[in-house]
């Protein structure tokens, strides 16, 4: 199993060197169906809150080169085969940093905890914010509830019209250059 703290320690300076902020580093089963793992890196340009394709590619190259260099020195960061996936966090982004819980206050959020907190394991409602390490949400069922951030397994914004309206438009530069082709069926 990969050490996420060590991977983050390796990846964060590479993202920072490009002017990006790391949102999340995660290891999960690859969607390729080949038995490999996926090293998922989400980052954002603080000016836009997103990464465009060229930025993802630049970060992917830097991280790949750094991991390769460390492995040549004998450090194994990920056991076995893996795929590197670099992406922008998207509109319905995960909330992973303390500043995310402040920045996205007022928006609908889903929170899941490893273990129940005050009788609740899953919360969904309007995010109030974070104070002294306690994340507060107005849950649809439980009302206003505060949970310690370290007890949160995952938190994610819910795609709503209000969230779409509050999100900076995605950079569509280059979209007009995309050429769609039809694949021919094998005879």
DSSP 46-65: TTTTB--HHHHHHHHHHHHH
Break the chain into its structural domains and give their ranges.
4-87, 98-166
Going from the C-alpha of 92 to that of each of 57, 71, 85, the distances in angstroms are 22, 34, 18
CA distances from 31 to 63, 64, 82 (A): 20, 19, 11
Q: How many CB atoms lie within 10 A of CB 119?
A: 7
Within a 10 A sphere around the Cβ of 162, how many other Cβ atoms?
13
pLDDT in tens, 97-135: 999 999 999 999 999 998 998 888 999 999 999 999 999
Lowest-confidence pick of 76-85, 136-145, 152-161: 76-85
Report whether pLDDT(186) > 70.
Answer: no
Query: In this predicted model, which residue has the larger pLDDT, 171 or 1?
Result: 1
Assign domain 4-87 to its CATH superfamily. RimP-like superfamily, N-terminal (3.30.300.70)
Tens-place pLDDT, residues 61-99: 999 999 999 999 999 999 888 899 999 999 999 999 999
SS3 label, residue 1: coil
Which CATH number applies to 98-166?
2.30.30.180
Is residue 15 over pLDDT 80? yes
Work out the mean pLDDT of the chain and round it to a whole number. Answer: 89
């Amino acid at each position: 199993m990969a050490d996420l703290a060590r991977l983050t320690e390796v990846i964060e300076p590479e993202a920072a060197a490009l002017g990006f902020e790391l949102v999340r580093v995660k290891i999960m089963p690859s969607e390729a169906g080949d038995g490999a793992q996926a090293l998922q890196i989400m980052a954002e340009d603080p000016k836009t809150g997103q990464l465009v394709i060229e930025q993802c590619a630049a970060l992917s190259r830097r991280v790949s080169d750094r991991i390769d260099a460390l492995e040549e020195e004998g450090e194994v960061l990920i056991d076995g085969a893996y795929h590197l996936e670099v992406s922008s966090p998207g509109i319905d982004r995960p909330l992973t940093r303390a500043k995310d819980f402040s920045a996205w206050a007022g928006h609908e959020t889903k929170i899941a905890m490893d273990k129940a907190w005050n009788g609740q394991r899953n919360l969904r409602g309007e995010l109030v914010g974070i104070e002294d390490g306690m994340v507060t949400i107005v849950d649809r069922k439980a009302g206003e509830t505060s949970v310690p951030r370290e007890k949160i397994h995952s938190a994610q914004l819910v795609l709503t019209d209000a969230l779409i309206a509050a999100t900076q438009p995605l950079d569509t530069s280059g979209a007009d250059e995309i050429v769609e082709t039809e694949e021919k069926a094998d005879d």
